[in-house]
């Protein structure tokens, strides 16, 4: 098999049984039909290992199995956000992931917004290393030319399948804006129409590989493209981390997306007659639970292990020991304060001496379990290489920032404001932009006309996640956020434990939170309180030690 050059052929013959979910749809002499299989992933964020998802080694095994069943190599497609996210990726600035994907046998991908995190020049270097097409039709240079090849055509069993790419225009502010200076992200609908017109006579099947997503809060989505552009047979989507157990059908276009982290592999089957006319397009998910039947491909494991071994001495350095779990779960940091987020903002305050700190919940990418904390753990939590910036803000600017960060609540939002030295109350029943009711800074009521020094990260300072910070005066610049967190933990080892607080008569959970310098939601979570209104004098609560 030309593409699956690293896969174990022993594995192919060992796995002779068929998936219950995937009946053989290969070329049939009896019916004269053809079947093309596409395996797709999205939003892997460099989760290369088997846990929590299939991992790349089992993905390669799945590709080998389907090739054996159908007699035709599947086409491997990624819908973006592959090159950045975990330590194995960030220490090599994405090269490790490209080489792993080369070994797996990927055919094509579209860049996601986080694939620009090393800067677009580095992304072009990674694309040149890739043995698969990195495509996008709507990323334009200042002279109007395209940054990437807009499409590629792949042939299987005499069928020509055209793939064109679309990047989210949100990349302009969902990577650090300095990473895309000089680039524009053209209207996906207009570019898709142009692509379909160009490719219609060149291919039998037209596939859009899209990092647009399906979030209702996004303006440009794959759903919009399907509604506005005819002639697209399939959209392989990413960006919104949507797990579509059943494909979304818009007119004659099928939209598929797997969720994230290869917790599912997507499998699309395109059935055609002998004249290469499409009979049907169907999609399904191959979940991690079903992958228990697969044996990881040894060749892929060896590639992954080689990168890990080279990086291990740096990552293994123990920088502290924690008595407590530090919560960086995606669904928590994008909707509410957590103890890890509080620790990060505390480190920003310690580093800068600022009046307050605001960082985006979406920048916190992992939790840390109790026990030894390594440098690698910190880099995994904060993988973006951000540095700390202080800005001069009026109190009214702080309120505007909170309103912006809370505008999508209760939906998960990467821009959710994780704060230090700021307390606020808000009413989620009110319209976005009118929700914040009270704000305190350093325990005092906010003065809308007073100037405050606010620490944030360089991503947000440049307008990342849509925050209105870019035009505010710069106060100072500092070192990296991950190094500030390491320094804070090492200087204050007592922060990695809980203190005990005895509930006093008249206490309420929010009062205790204010007394102890934390948030009531953090107290509810670390104490596993089913009803925060039911606390009793004399009982003991765990509270953060900082």
The CA distance from 204 to 157, in Å, is 12
Name 316's Cβ contacts closer than 8 Å, sequence gap at least 6: 374, 375, 376
The CA distance from 56 to 304, in Å, is 9
The CA distance from 365 to 384, in Å, is 9
The CA distance from 61 to 67, in Å, is 10
pLDDT in tens, 392-425: 999 999 999 999 999 999 999 999 999 999 999 9
The DSSP symbol for 355 reads S
CATH 3.10.350.10 assigned to domain 497-546? The reply is yes
SS3 275: coil
Q: Fold match between 36-308 and 497-546?
A: no
- Find out whether 103 and 65 touch, Cβ atoms under 8 Å: no
Q: How far is CA 244 from CA 14, 258, 268, 284, in A?
A: 31, 6, 13, 9
pLDDT in tens, 433-483: 999 999 999 999 999 999 999 999 989 998 999 999 989 998 988 878 998
Residue in 268, 146, 126 with CA at minimum distance from that of residue 208: 268
φ and ψ at residue 21, rounded to 5 degrees: -80, -15
- Find out whether 113 and 211 touch, Cβ atoms under 8 Å: yes
- Find out whether 237 and 255 touch, Cβ atoms under 8 Å: yes
List, as one string, the DSSP characters of 428-465.
Answer: TTSPTTS-EEEEEETTEE--TTSEEEEEEEHHHHTTGG
CATH 2.60.40.420 assigned to domain 36-308? The reply is no
Please tell me whether the overall predicted TM-score, pTM, comes out greater than 0.75 for this model.
Answer: no
The CA distance from 51 to 245, in Å, is 20
Q: Burial, 521: exposed, middle or buried (Cβ in 10 Å; 0-12, 13-18, 19+)? A: middle
What the block records as the tokens of 134 is 């990195």
Domain locations along the chain: 36-308, 317-494, 497-546
Pick the CATH number of 317-494 from 1.10.540.10, 3.90.780.10, 3.40.50.2300, 3.40.50.1370: 3.90.780.10
What the block records as the tokens of 286 is 């191959």
The CA distance from 465 to 463, in Å, is 6
The residues with which 207 forms a beta bridge, in sequence order, are 163, 234
Per-residue pLDDT tens listing for the chain (546 residues): 333 333 333 333 333 233 333 333 333 333 568 999 999 999 999 999 998 899 999 999 999 999 999 999 999 999 999 999 888 998 899 999 999 999 999 999 999 999 998 999 999 999 999 999 999 999 999 999 999 999 999 999 999 999 999 999 999 988 888 899 999 999 999 999 999 999 999 999 999 999 999 988 789 999 999 999 999 999 999 999 999 999 999 999 999 999 999 999 999 999 999 999 999 999 999 999 999 999 999 999 999 999 999 999 988 999 999 999 999 999 999 999 999 999 999 999 999 999 999 999 999 999 999 999 999 999 999 988 788 999 999 999 999 999 999 999 999 999 999 999 999 999 999 999 999 999 999 999 999 999 999 999 989 998 999 999 989 998 988 878 998 999 999 999 888 888 899 999 999 998 998 888 888 888 988 898 989 889 999 999 998 887
Cα torsion angle, 471, 472, 473, 475, sign: negative
């Amino acid at each position: 098999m030309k593409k699956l050059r690293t896969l174990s052929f022993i594995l192919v013959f060992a796995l002779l049984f068929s998936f219950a979910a995937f009946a053989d749809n290969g070329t049939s002499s009896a019916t004269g039909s053809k079947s093309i299989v596409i395996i797709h992933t999205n939003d892997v964020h460099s989760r290369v290992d088997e846990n929590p998802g299939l991992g790349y080694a089992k993905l390669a095994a799945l590709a080998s199995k389907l090739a054996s069943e159908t007699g035709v190599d599947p086409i491997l497609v990624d819908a973006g956000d592959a090159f950045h996210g975990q330590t194995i990726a960030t220490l090599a600035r994405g090269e490790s992931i490209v080489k792993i994907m080369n070994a797996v046998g990927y055919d094509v991908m579209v860049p996601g917004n986080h694939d620009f995190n090393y800067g677009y020049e580095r992304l072009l270097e990674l694309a040149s290393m890739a043995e698969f097409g990195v495509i996008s039709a709507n990323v334009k240079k200042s002279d109007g030319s395209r940054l990437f090849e807009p499409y590629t055509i792949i042939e299987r069993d005499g069928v020509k399948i055209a793939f064109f790419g679309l990047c989210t225009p949100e990349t302009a502010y969902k990577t650090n804006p300095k990473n895309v200076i000089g680039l524009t992200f053209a209207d996906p609908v207009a570019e898709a129409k142009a692509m379909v017109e160009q490719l219609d006579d060149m291919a039998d099947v037209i596939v859009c590989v899209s990092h647009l997503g399906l979030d209702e809060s996004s303006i440009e989505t794959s759903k919009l493209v399907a509604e506005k552009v005819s002639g697209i047979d399939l959209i392989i989507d990413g960006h919104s981390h949507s797990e579509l157990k059943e494909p979304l059908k818009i007119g004659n276009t099928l939209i598929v997306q797997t969720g994230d982290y290869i917790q599912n592999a997507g499998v699309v089957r395109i059935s055609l007659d002998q004249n290469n006319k499409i009979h049907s397009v169907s999609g399904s998910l191959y979940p991690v639970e079903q992958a228990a039947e697969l044996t990881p491909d040894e060749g892929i494991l060896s590639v992954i292990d080689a990168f890990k071994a080279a990086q291990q001495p740096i990552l293994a350095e123990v920088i502290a020991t924690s008595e407590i779990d530090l919560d960086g779960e995606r669904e928590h940091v994008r909707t509410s304060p957590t103890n890890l987020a509080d620790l990060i903002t505390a480190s920003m305050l310690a580093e800068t001496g600022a009046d307050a700190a605001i960082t985006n919940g979406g920048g916190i990418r992992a939790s840390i379990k109790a026990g030894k904390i390594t440098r690698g753990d910190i880099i995994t939590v904060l993988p973006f290489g951000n540095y700390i910036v202080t800005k001069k803000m009026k109190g009214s600017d702080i309120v505007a920032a909170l309103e912006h960060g809370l505008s999508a609540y209760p939906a998960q939002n990467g821009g959710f404001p994780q704060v230090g030295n700021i307390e606020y109350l808000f009413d989620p029943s009110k319209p976005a932009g009118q929700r914040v009711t009270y704000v305190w800074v350093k325990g005092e009521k906010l003065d809308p006309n007073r100037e405050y020094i606010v620490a944030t990260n360089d991503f947000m300072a440049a307008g990342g996640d849509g925050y209105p910070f870019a035009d505010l005066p710069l106060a100072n610049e500092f070192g990296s956020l991950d190094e500030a967190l390491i320094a804070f933990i090492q200087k204050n080892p007592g922060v990695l434990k809980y203190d005990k607080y005895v509930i006093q008569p008249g206490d309420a959970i929010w009062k205790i939170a204010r007394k102890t310098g934390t948030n009531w939601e953090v107290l509810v979570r670390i104490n596993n309180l089913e009803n925060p209104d039911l606390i009793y004098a004399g009982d003991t609560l765990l509270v953060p030690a900082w």
